Structure 1
């Protein structure tokens, strides 16, 4: 076992028995490189990364390769999910020097941490025009020993490039014209045949869909295009192979443009965001498909990703039995073996399992392109297939708890609980909230990861503060418990003090965080929300619940700072656009005061919860008196009847007691 044996990261632990003498990121590794006068090899990946596993097997488990590394390098292994700050800086270098990025990421650094070489996967043998990993290492060693001046010059040039932040700040707000233009741009990039945007590979555009659906609900300038684009994409994903038709939950992306064959790893952040999108689709349309997918996705998260401590694990691997997708795919013969010839043939037709196959070795990824004609038969078939699949070797689980991604899960579950009427989702959200509150908050500051209830050392970054503060706000909204709101406010105070950039935007690391060769700052959304967009949502929710002008001003300044980015690249600002749509319309604030068994009050609650982007509290009269949430102050029954109080844009309407008068 090498130095990684004591790591908390499951990804690092996967490499603990490599013959490579790995170090964790830290000053000790760089001190050792100076002492030996060798460069630093930085390898960044994550536990569910298929090609990380391939490179590990080909090179890091190979004794000869390890011997060369150990003799000529100090090797550092980093989990990108545990240290997103390190990942962000060196990914910027990788993209700058190669034109693309991804994982595994392979960089070579000097003793100051400056990169002079960057790339991704390298094979163990020369292949497809690439040198082997060993050939690459030998060439870099030769440059380090024979041409040190060139190495230093290259390192300085790359570092200068990544240290120069683009100036996107501005004072103009993201107004209706920007949002209308974003919709037009998205419409032009929409794949009208298969749903989604662009071609292969195709990622779930969950944040953009949330923006489009909020437009349907709130914008005076919305058209049928927003709902058409969102509905077509959500249905295509729900029926395609990217969605697990047996067990629920979404894979990370589709390798094709038709959502048929996924990259099979399942990430917590994807499923949390998609739970939110399908909940919004159901709220906007009442679609039975939307509700089913929302419920199944929430149940998948709780069942497959839930941890003993109440949180949610990061991911499920793509691989099992040494190959990607083996756990999920079927052949017609396998279906017949489990179900018998008659039901097997029926299931093969229903789930698009063909003799030729849609995946490797004649197997097929399950799709459900039409609803079953016999629901009872489908339930029986699905149950039998799930039981048979459970006997297969399961993909590994990365069971570390990431604060930001748990925050996304909490907010999505809390909202889904009210919209679809499943209280167990709120129970799960509160349990995860307690874990973050009790374990991840240390001396008033947020830590990014924990595992088995033990919190790790990496400090929280901006996305952690934004997502967790918003989650605590969502719990306050769902439970009317003001203590959650107080915790949200404390996190936002730290964010405004430690992360603010001075131009309305935010840095991704705190002022007192470990100094890297550049301070990361990226307001664009990727597979998950940027820290910038996450903190904007949290600020808006907190301002709505408290009436705080300071937090509302901070949210508006944050939105103004990304106007140029939103105009240039709306596909990478979906979460900020959703926040801007909410800010432009108020946000809408609704309090429903009702007894649990009051039919009229519950009808008003259902109507209120269907408003996308609104802050909605549904409380009994006693909660109003006990709560410390300012939005609830002065709210009560009206002449003994259930009542709804609606405010928009800091202006309140008269309370209504008739569901038909709510939001007319």
Structure 2
């Protein structure tokens, strides 16, 4: 325990100095006497009769940096905060349980949310004020942080009863909002309703959904691919292709170093917020992989592989896990690392190369965008395309291949030049849930592209998580500096199970199936709501934050319950276990009422409903994995877009696969040849050694 004298913010550090989170460490030398979330802070607040000033953010958040520089590094503001409050700092990525609860509070109280998240609450964690970013001084009708602190101080002293009543009211509303009335099973017609809503909100000019800021929302696109597969509706796949093409052409894509930025502030995908998140790379690459399988467009494969090239170069730890994020800001300026003046491009390239790059990527002498968060007309340019490479080549009167070769030569020169700049800060903590998503993406790539380097990377990450982030059989959320800490939440378990199931299908190593089943057993034991069904976000033996929450909303990431129902359905089909099937139905009923009310924000959950409604397939190949006929049959299935399937390999030399499901014991190769056993819609077809017949049975 560090003494209170040692934790003196006036001496340059506070109670965050021994934390592992890069975000908390960023604030360890603030004059604000920050505490990490924990009993010490709450006991101090109770003893000193002070409210809690809770500030939640993350290391790559631009406005978190702005508020820190303006206020938390300012001695005058810090003195006010320390006098009136017990200040607590939380990394939302380390403690998503805390963040989720108080983000819900902010949205209830203000109608909006975001980071930095500012909550003022009683010592028993009940909030009575919420907001996001506050400037230091009041301006333009907006309350500044200094005035806010003084107002709260007065209210806390003079109107304590009103404050406590307000906290109780917010708590009651939060409980009501968090309740999940059960309903019946979800009908197939909801898939049509969801497609209709997506088609009405789709931006047919630029792709994506909505007409202001643009987020990739990969689960919407994956839903549309499945809807197209189900119905043959060409507009569904058009919406996917239009969005993926526009995203790639826009400034949201890093055309030099690859990978996607978080989102764009404009409808045309041009001006991004420049942070790069691991989960975005994982989820977006999944869509490009599935679009490649569905359409055969090699461009989508190339983009997915570029994303992985970025991830391997910038986000992969030596131990095999993947880091969390890279910052939007460099040297206090958002996007500085990624922006170019025309002069910088001419200094880095030969004149002919520079002219071509400026033409292709819309580089202007005065800059090609204005954004008050980055700076007005500094001559800065975002590299983006107005047309596809094929159209640009046609306009230049050269072949696409020739243009691609020219661009690649210049790209490498610009990339090497950019590498000499000050790099954005990397958040190098390793999170189990986000790694589960990246394992899933890599395993999908290994199957679709028939490339073992992706399955190797997925195995390295999975083995790292299972070896280093599991203690006494339990999964932990965060790893940094050789320490696994913070008990795993719902997303950690469901995302890792998803990754392990995809990894099994990529390498057919039964140990990953067994690990998935073990994690699922822990999930049911510690997260399942025995009364109403569904999974809580935190385990029954974890810290109680304010209330137990169950969520299905698919936001930037799919919800743990959305992934959880998919896992339950797949594991039930794999193991032939009716108990898992029953739980998947209970989970569906637990949330069906709210999903019917707003299907558009539950598209990943509805992918599971699409799987359940069918047609879906249980595919078992019996054969030697090293034999040519087995390899041919496996790859012929993998090369097609068949999302609603479970896929097993029975190798006669690996008997433990038969422990997974009883019927596997009785599946044998026909005349020593690779043989496919396919079941669908509750009936099993005749086994076949003919690849063409197998694909016909799978609707290809």
Q: TM-score range by the shorter chain?
A: over 0.9
Distance in 2 separating the partners of 1:137 and 1:255: 31
Distance in 2 separating the partners of 1:33 and 1:553: 46
Confirm whether residue 426 of structure 1 aligns to residue 464 of structure 2: no
Confirm whether residue 367 of structure 1 aligns to residue 384 of structure 2: yes
Q: Alpha carbons of 1:649 and 1:356: their partners in 2 closer, same or farther (altered >3 Å)?
A: farther
Aligned partner of 2:107 in structure 1 is: 95
Distance in 2 separating the partners of 1:403 and 1:625: 27
Offset at 1:568?
2.8
On the 8 A contact 2:614/2:644 being kept in 1, the answer is: no
Offset at 1:552?
2.0
Aligned partner of 1:644 in structure 2 is: 676
Q: Secondary structure at the match of 1:248?
A: coil
Q: Secondary structure at the match of 1:87?
A: helix
Residue deviations 1:161-199, cap 9 Å, x none? 112245544442223211111111111111111111112
On the 8 A contact 1:481/1:627 being kept in 2, the answer is: no
Residue deviations 1:354-384, cap 9 Å, x none? 3343334232222243225322212211111
| Structure 1: unaligned runs, 5 residues or longer | none
Aligned partner of 1:612 in structure 2 is: 643
Aligned partner of 1:292 in structure 2 is: 302
Q: Alpha carbons of 1:351 and 1:592: their partners in 2 closer, same or farther (altered >3 Å)?
A: farther
Q: Secondary structure at the match of 1:639?
A: coil
Confirm whether residue 450 of structure 1 aligns to residue 479 of structure 2: yes
Aligned partner of 1:41 in structure 2 is: 53
Offset at 1:123?
0.4
Map 1:278-289 → 2, pairs under 5 A: 278-289=288-299
Offset at 1:553?
2.0
Confirm whether residue 327 of structure 1 aligns to residue 337 of structure 2: yes
Aligned partner of 1:413 in structure 2 is: 442
Q: Alpha carbons of 1:303 and 1:130: their partners in 2 closer, same or farther (altered >3 Å)?
A: same
On the 8 A contact 2:442/2:457 being kept in 1, the answer is: yes
CA RMSD of aligned residues (A): 1.9
Q: Secondary structure at the match of 1:362?
A: coil
Distance in 1 separating the partners of 2:384 and 2:546: 47
Confirm whether residue 144 of structure 1 aligns to residue 152 of structure 2: no
Q: Which moved more, 1:96-105 or 1:347-356?
A: 347-356
Offset at 1:593?
4.3
Q: Alpha carbons of 1:143 and 1:429: their partners in 2 closer, same or farther (altered >3 Å)?
A: same
Distance in 2 separating the partners of 1:624 and 1:243: 46
Map 1:375-394 → 2, pairs under 5 A: 375-394=404-423
Aligned partner of 1:551 in structure 2 is: 580
1:354 to 364, 367, 370: 364
Aligned partner of 1:18 in structure 2 is: 30
On the 8 A contact 1:480/1:627 being kept in 2, the answer is: no
Q: Alpha carbons of 1:507 and 1:127: their partners in 2 closer, same or farther (altered >3 Å)?
A: same
Aligned partner of 1:500 in structure 2 is: 528
On the 8 A contact 1:448/1:459 being kept in 2, the answer is: yes
2:548 to 519, 534, 545: 519
On the 8 A contact 1:214/1:582 being kept in 2, the answer is: no
Map 1:143-182 → 2, pairs under 5 A: 143-182=155-194
Q: Alpha carbons of 1:335 and 1:619: their partners in 2 closer, same or farther (altered >3 Å)?
A: farther
Offset at 1:79?
0.6
1:252 to 256, 259, 262: 262
Aligned partner of 2:4 in structure 1 is: none
TM-score (norm 1): 0.96
Which structure has more RCO (C-alpha within 8 Å, separation ≥ 6)?
1
Distance in 1 separating the partners of 2:255 and 2:667: 45
Aligned partner of 1:656 in structure 2 is: 688
Q: Which moved more, 1:371-380 or 1:261-270?
A: 371-380
1:466 to 494, 515, 539: 494
Offset at 1:595?
5.2
On the 8 A contact 1:499/1:508 being kept in 2, the answer is: yes
Q: Which moved more, 1:366-375 or 1:493-502?
A: 366-375
Paired residues in the alignment total 661
Aligned partner of 2:396 in structure 1 is: none
Q: Alpha carbons of 1:161 and 1:170: their partners in 2 closer, same or farther (altered >3 Å)?
A: closer
Offset at 1:299?
2.1
Q: Alpha carbons of 1:367 and 1:614: their partners in 2 closer, same or farther (altered >3 Å)?
A: farther
Residue deviations 1:189-224, cap 9 Å, x none? 11111111112211102011111112233x2x3411
On the 8 A contact 2:537/2:548 being kept in 1, the answer is: yes
Confirm whether residue 192 of structure 1 aligns to residue 198 of structure 2: no
Q: Alpha carbons of 1:55 and 1:633: their partners in 2 closer, same or farther (altered >3 Å)?
A: farther
1:232 to 238, 242, 266: 242
Aligned partner of 2:6 in structure 1 is: none
On the 8 A contact 1:284/1:612 being kept in 2, the answer is: no
Aligned partner of 1:64 in structure 2 is: 76
Q: Alpha carbons of 1:162 and 1:126: their partners in 2 closer, same or farther (altered >3 Å)?
A: same
Q: Secondary structure at the match of 1:6?
A: coil
| Structure 2: unaligned runs, 5 residues or longer | 1-12, 371-377, 394-399
Q: Alpha carbons of 1:85 and 1:625: their partners in 2 closer, same or farther (altered >3 Å)?
A: closer
Q: Alpha carbons of 1:512 and 1:596: their partners in 2 closer, same or farther (altered >3 Å)?
A: closer
Distance in 2 separating the partners of 1:621 and 1:359: 62
Residue deviations 1:496-516, cap 9 Å, x none? 122222323222112222122
Confirm whether residue 489 of structure 1 aligns to residue 513 of structure 2: no
On the 8 A contact 1:525/1:573 being kept in 2, the answer is: yes
On the 8 A contact 1:206/1:273 being kept in 2, the answer is: yes
Q: Which moved more, 1:45-54 or 1:344-353?
A: 344-353
Distance in 2 separating the partners of 1:83 and 1:2: 20
Distance in 2 separating the partners of 1:519 and 1:12: 25
Distance in 1 separating the partners of 2:265 and 2:689: 51
Q: Secondary structure at the match of 1:76?
A: strand
Offset at 1:612?
1.9
Aligned partner of 1:436 in structure 2 is: 465
Distance in 1 separating the partners of 2:500 and 2:593: 30
TM-score (norm 2): 0.91
